[in-house]
């Protein structure tokens, strides 16, 4: 089945509200299927322990579930893997490939996102040539990204106040209890890891988050 074109991916990105990052796991297929059934819009494989070949195999599993649920497949860090996997999204941090270099590898039919951790980085990402969305965080210090200082909800407030033309997501320490604070600070889209990966019922956890986001 042919993949989505850039216009179709950008439309889905615009509509996306709940973005999940997950490591590979023994129950990857059923876990991702449950999260997507609960309303996750984008799934990223974020697992630095995998060799390229293992990453590609895990991405195939996620891609099949995403296609069935009409969700987007995201690759972390590596443009070559994104291309090989036929991903819809590549996510780049401040220390990863520059966006124009990734764009040379991927062309225009893959959307590229950027991580930001300060007002200056967020405003650069909001206007940076070639990227399609950005994330701001961490909203709270998080064991998922140890050592990363948290700019907190002030960064979410400042970003919301600047009304970026690009879609943007809040990330870091977000769970169902904290979600109302994140939304009150002005975010309309969120990225989560543990709130779904550590849930005993990932479908229920995703649905509970999504209910606040639509």
Ligand X SMILES: Cc1nc(C(=O)O)sc1CCOP(=O)(O)O
Nearest distance from C-beta of residue 199 to ligand X, angstroms: 11
Q: Which long-range contacts (CB under 8 A, 24 or more apart) does 44-49 make?
A: 44/19, 44/20, 44/74, 44/75, 44/76, 44/89, 44/91, 45/21, 45/74, 45/75, 45/76, 46/21, 46/22, 46/76, 46/193, 47/22, 47/23, 47/76, 49/23
Q: Is 76 a binder of ligand LCLJCK34 (CB under 6 A)?
A: yes
Strands 18-22 and 111-116: unpaired
How many chain residues interact with ligand LCLJCK34 (CB under 6 A)?
14
Within residues 91-130, the interface with ligand LCLJCK34 by CB under 6 A covers 91, 93, 96, 113, 115
Nearer Cβ to ligand X (4/131) = 131
- Measured distance CA(113)–CA(132) in Å, rounded: 6
Q: How far is the CB of 1 from ligand LCLJCK34 (least distance, A)?
A: 25
Q: What is the contact surface with ligand X in residues (CB under 6 A)? A: 21, 115, 117, 135, 137-138, 142, 144-145, 148, 171-174, 192-195
Binding residues: 44-48, 76-77, 96, 115, 142-145, 173
Binding residues for Mg(2+), by number, are 77, 96
């Amino acid at each position: 089945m042919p993949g989505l074109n850039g216009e179709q991916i950008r439309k889905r990105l615009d509509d996306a509200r709940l973005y999940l990052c997950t490591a590979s796991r023994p129950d990857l297929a059923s876990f991702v299927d449950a999260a997507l059934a609960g309303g996750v819009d984008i799934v990223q494989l974020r697992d630095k322990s995998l060799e390229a070949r293992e990453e590609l195999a895990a991405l195939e599993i996620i891609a099949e579930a995403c296609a069935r649920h009409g969700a987007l497949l995201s690759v972390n860090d590596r443009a070559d893997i994104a291309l090989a996997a036929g991903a819809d999204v590549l996510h780049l941090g401040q220390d990863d490939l520059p966006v124009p270099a990734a764009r040379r590898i991927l062309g225009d039919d893959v959307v590229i996102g950027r991580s930001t951790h300060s007002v200056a980085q967020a405003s650069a990402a909001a206007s940076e040539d070639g990227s399609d969305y950005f994330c701001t965080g961490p909203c709270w210090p998080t064991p998922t990204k140890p050592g990363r200082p948290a700019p907190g909800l002030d960064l979410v407030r400042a970003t919301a106040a600047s009304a970026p033309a690009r879609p943007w997501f809040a990330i870091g320490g977000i769970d169902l209890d904290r979600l109302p604070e994140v939304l009150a600070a002005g975010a309309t889209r969120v990225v989560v890891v543990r709130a779904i990966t550590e849930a005993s019922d990932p479908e229920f956890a995703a649905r509970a988050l999504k209910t606040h986001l639509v």
